[in-house]
Amino acid sequence: MSSKDRDREPQAPLTPAMFHILLALADGEKHGYAILKEVADRTGGKVQLSAGTLYGIIKRLDESGWILEKSQRPDIGFDDERRRYYQLTETGRRVAMAEASRLQEMVDMARAKRLVRKPRLA
């Protein structure tokens, strides 16, 4: 990947899985398993990422510069040192926000057409 490809804004809507991972990292760095668990918990098990798909997405998010593999690890004793942690980059945060507002707009439009019965906060 050359540098001009990095840090780019998304050209197309994110896939749901990508968005979920960005969401999972929005409140702090996590390792792979924690991401999986958070996504599964948050969606009530509706979105089930697996070890087979997770790292393909992580690789792409990493290459796009939206997430970053943390070089320092959390306190020894508090955590297992062999884990790799990921955190959202500034670009990643902007991308997630852009996607969230895009979704928001979509929902607003749907509401205007009376396709959404009752506004519900997540």
Partner 1 sequence: MPDDRPRISDRIFRMALAVLPSDFRGNYANEMHRVFREQQREAGERDGFAGLIKLWWETLTGLLTTGPREHWEILKQDVFYALRMMRKNFGFTIVAVLTLALGIGANTAIFSVVNAVLLSPLPYPKGRELVILRQQAQKQGVDNLAFSVKEIEDYRAQNGTFSGVAEYHSMTFTLLGRDEPLRVQTGVVSANYFDLFGIKPIQGRTFREDDDKLGAPAVLLVSYEFWKNSLDGDPNIVGKTFRMNDRVHTVVGVLPPVPQYPVENDVYMPTVACPFRGSKAMMEGRDHRMMNVFARMKDSVKLGAAGADVETIAGRLMQDYPKFYPASMGYRTITVPLKGELIKDARPTLLILLGATGFVLLIACANVANLTLARMTQRERELAVRSALGAGRSRLLRQLLTESVLIAALGAGLGLLFASGGMDLLQGFAARFTPRAREIRIDYVVLLFTFIVAAGTSIVFGSLAAFLSRESLAAGLKEGTGGASASRRRHRVRSLLIVSQIALSFLLLTGAGLMLRSFVKLQRVDPGFVPQHILAMKVSPNFTKYTKNDQYRALSNRMLESAKMRPGVMSVAISSSFPFDPDSVVFGLGINPYLIEGRPLKDGEAQPTSAARVASADYFKLLGIPILEGRSFTEADTKDAQQVAIVNQALVRHHWAGEDPIGHRISFDDGKTWQTIVGVVGDTKELALNQPADEQVYVPVDQYPQIGSLLVRTMGDPMSVARDIRQSVYDVDPDTALTHMQSLEAARSATLTSPRLTTDLLAVFAGLALVMAATGIGGIMALTVSQRLREIGIRMAMGAKPRDILRMVLRQGLGLGLTGIVVGLLAAIGLTRLLQTLLFEISPTDPITLGAVGLVLVSAAVISCLIPARRAAKTDPLAALRFE
| Binding positions for partner 1, rule: CB under 8 A | 31-33, 36, 48-56, 58-59, 82-84
Q: Burial, 35: exposed, middle or buried (Cβ in 10 Å; 0-12, 13-18, 19+)?
A: buried
Structure tokens at 93: 């945060």
* Residue 33 CB, nearest approach to partner 1 (Å): 5
* Residue 31 CB, nearest approach to partner 1 (Å): 8
CB atoms within 10 A of CB 13: 13
Closer residue to partner 1 in complex, CB, 51/76: 51
What order do you get walking across the sheet with 30-31 strand by strand? 30-31, 85-88, 67-69
* Residue 59 CB, nearest approach to partner 1 (Å): 7
Closer residue to partner 1 in complex, CB, 69/105: 69
